[in-house]
Structure 1
Amino acid sequence: MTADSTPALVKQADADGPAPAGPSAARGPRARNTKAYLKYVAAKIAGAVVSLFAVLVTSFFLFRLIPSDPVKQMTGGRRVSAEQLESLRHQFGLDQPMWQQFTSYVKDALTGDFGTSFAYHAPVVDKIVEKLPATLLLTGTAYVLYSLLGIWLGTRTAWRNGSASDRFNTALALTLYSVPSFWLGLLLIIVFSVGVGPIPGMFPTGGMSAGDGASGFAYIMDVAHHMVLPVITLVAVGYAQTLLVMRSSLLDEMGSDYLTTARAKGLRDDTVRRKHAVPNAMLPTFTLMFVNLGHVVAGQILVETVFSWPGLGSLFYQGLSTPDLPLVQGLFFVFATAVILANTLADVLYPLLDPRVGR
């Protein structure tokens, strides 16, 4: 309650008599909190809409800075007459003024139409839907594994701060977090696909399956076999980030008075950690998990490319090589939208975990 509002409330109380007690009195603060929360949510959603429009504009102009002619790239270096090149430019709308291309792109994108791929001669939306399951399978599996592993190890290392296991896990996490994911993937291919010394090549070098027509359980095992190395690459980098954030957050909580009070009441150390310290330390990790959730759709472009995984990341890399403007524009917008929506969802849910936010 602010100082400016106190006189008005006092006058109102004098005029109307004593304030009512009971449930009706409690509804006042709850109503104010609900109104504040709804106002907070509306502001976050409005910010997300503005961000999406900014991404829409950026996705159009960004890839037109690439110094390459898409039409000439599509011809594959073959000798093509000027009339044929002009016909292709007209077919894909590249002969129109830039402002007209932009307005057409925005109008179509708002209806979910990202145009036709130059390279695949198919709607961009269809290509995205075709490749999306492979990306969700790979990055979704890695996301679940590295989130659980990072939270568990981050909690253990922080609670045993200064121990040998803490020093080892922290050093390993810092090392893996600093390693480029594509370099780690290449190293795993050299060691476990090609084989080094006594280590034989145990896993395929790339792809999603052997393509031998297997079905049923045999196909599932084949896909799982191909997933091992790319999943390990994603988990190694992702768990390191989660561990470091969780460890830092829990260390900040360990000196709090409420933990000292809980121990003074005779609670076991394990109970203090699980029921008191970890739930409060989870708030920064919760935000990080939602940020990473947004990247699940985008996948890891470099990791998918290194392992030739047929997902959206590889599709984006192939689109950049042409450049296939409708394809990379559509993928860029989808990637950014996933991140923005995940961040907005985290912002909306955060006040439910920490009432200090959004009040």
Structure 2
Amino acid sequence: MTADASPTPAGKTVGPAPAGPAAHGPWAYTTAVYLRYGVGKLGGAAVSLLAVLVTGFFLFRLIPGDPVKTMTGGRPVSTEQLVAYRKEFGLDLPLWQQFTDYCGEALTGDLGTSYQFRAPVIDKISEALPNTLLLTGTAFVLYTALGIFLGTRAAWRHGRLVDRLHTGLALTLYSVPSFWLGLLLIIVFSVGTGPIPGLFPTGGMESGGEEGFAYVLDVAHHLILPVVTLVAVEYGQTLLVTRSALLDEMGSDYLTTARAKGLRDDLVRRRHAVPNALLPTVTLVFVNLGRTVAGVILVETVFSWPGLGGLFYQALSVPDLPLVQGLFLFFAAAVIIMNTLADLVYPLLDPRVGR
């Protein structure tokens, strides 16, 4: 009998099964399914981006005010000058033509020219993006790690005092408006109140005049309060999602089997329960990562942080339509892309997804 042959109930032997679609093994099937799943998700992302492009154009034209008159700062301007300004920025064109021009330029990466800065919108975004990534990126790493760490321990000790304290604090802080908490921290720790002196700057990113390592320390000093604000408000969401997902896993048979084999409780949690409970948390992490790229408008505005959020608020006050539209598209694209990446990672963590 050869290695490829197998016995039949009657003791006879048969040769190897003929080659067919299954001969390529499960990997070929899984790859085909994953590609089909991925193409569907990428197509959905493209449709979402197109919807954002259309929505952004018409939404911000509902804002009251005349951009040209706002840019003149209330100075006496002749009718001829106003007409020249409108022609320069294309505001004299019919709305449908403005829309088609905007879509055509946006699809080629040209987001227009800012009214107030007289500079390409993409350049203004590139200037402010590193500042936003410094602030929200630092906060993202801290509140994600803190939320997952405390969420797993709260779930593993659910019903106990530690769980109730963590969950109650997370719910309280998650419901607090970020701008209100930021203003409160400024009053207490920047202005100073009672026995507490003013320890931190009231806003901005730097004091000016510092170089080298002193500059790094100065930026870090300005970074503390806005980062604390973001971490305090955002960590609760990650904690609650992680805790809920882990509680759903704790009654599973494979955990009982792992304990029956004599594994320590800590190993059962880290090696078995937590990895299987992280699927909902992965979605949240990617969504928050998209928001990190987009920035946090209210927090950056409260702390006068020179990032994308502050730039968006400044553009709204004019209104600087090309800058507002460009930032809106950038913010939405960041979230959509991160959501799509989360969808593409799902089947790698759980092969049941996408079948």
State whether TM-score is above 0.5: yes
Percent identical: 73
Partner of 1:350: 346
Give the aligned length: 342
Is 1:225 the counterpart of 2:233? The answer is no
The partner residue of 2:266 within 238, 263, 270 is 270
Matched, 1:214 2:210: yes
- The residue aligned with 2:87 is 90
Distance 2:270 2:251 in 1: 15
Partner of 1:64, secondary structure, is helix
Per the alignment, residue 149 of structure 2 pairs with: 152
Over residues 4-52 of structure 1, what are the superposed CA-to-partner deviations in whole Å (9 max), with x where a residue is unaligned?
Answer: xxxxxxxxxxxxx976389995633321221111000000011111111
Q: 2:179 aligns with which of 174, 177, 182?
A: 182
* CA distance in 1 between partners of 2:278 and 2:153 (Å): 13
Q: Which amino acid aligns with 1:157?
A: A
Q: How does 1:288-299 map to 2 (within 5 A)?
A: 288-299=284-295
SS in 2 for 1:139: helix
Residues 1:248 and 2:247 aligned together: no
Distance in 1 (alpha carbons) for counterparts of 2:244 and 2:338: 23
Specify the code of the residue in structure 2 equivalent to 1:302: L
The answer to which of 19-28 and 131-140 deviates more is 19-28
Aligned counterparts, 1:32-51, within 5 A: 32-51=29-48
The runs of at least 4 consecutive aligned structure 1 residues that moved more than 6 Å come to 21-24
The counterpart of 2:56, out of the listed 55, 59, 66, is 59
> Secondary structure of 2:262's match?
coil
Question: TM-score scaled by structure 1?
Answer: 0.93
> Following the alignment from structure 1 to structure 2, what is the Cα–Cα distance between the partners of residues 297 and 313?
10
Query: How many Å separate the matches in 2 of 1:18 and 1:293?
Result: 55
Letter matched to residue 161 of structure 1: H
Which of 325, 328, 332 aligns to 1:329? It is 325
Query: Residues 24 and 266 of structure 1: is their aligned pair in 2 closer, same or farther, counting only changes over 3 Å?
Result: farther
Alignment partner of 2:280 out of 272, 275, 284 = 284
Aligned to 1:29: 26
CA distance in 1, matches of 2:308, 2:135: 11
1-structure distance, mates of 2:214, 2:155: 42
> Paired residue for 2:76, among 71, 76, 79?
79
Corresponding residue for 2:159?
162
1:237 deviation in Å?
A: 1.2
Q: Taking structure 1 as reference, are residues 278 and 74 closer, same or farther at Cα in structure 2, changes over 3 Å only?
A: same
Q: Which residue of 2 aligns with 1:7?
A: none
Query: In the alignment, is residue 139 of structure 1 matched against residue 140 of structure 2?
Result: no
State the Cα distance separating 1:81 from its structure 2 match: 1.5
Partner residue of 2:100 out of 78, 103, 116: 103
Give distance in 2, aligned partners of 1:26 and 1:145. 48
SS, match of residue 278 in structure 2: helix
Tell me which of 191, 210, 228 is aligned to 1:194. 191
Secondary structure in structure 1 of the residue aligned to 2:102: helix
Unaligned stretches of 5+ in structure 2? 1-13
| Structure 2 residue 326 is matched with structure 1 residue 341 | no
Report the aligned-residue RMSD: 1.5
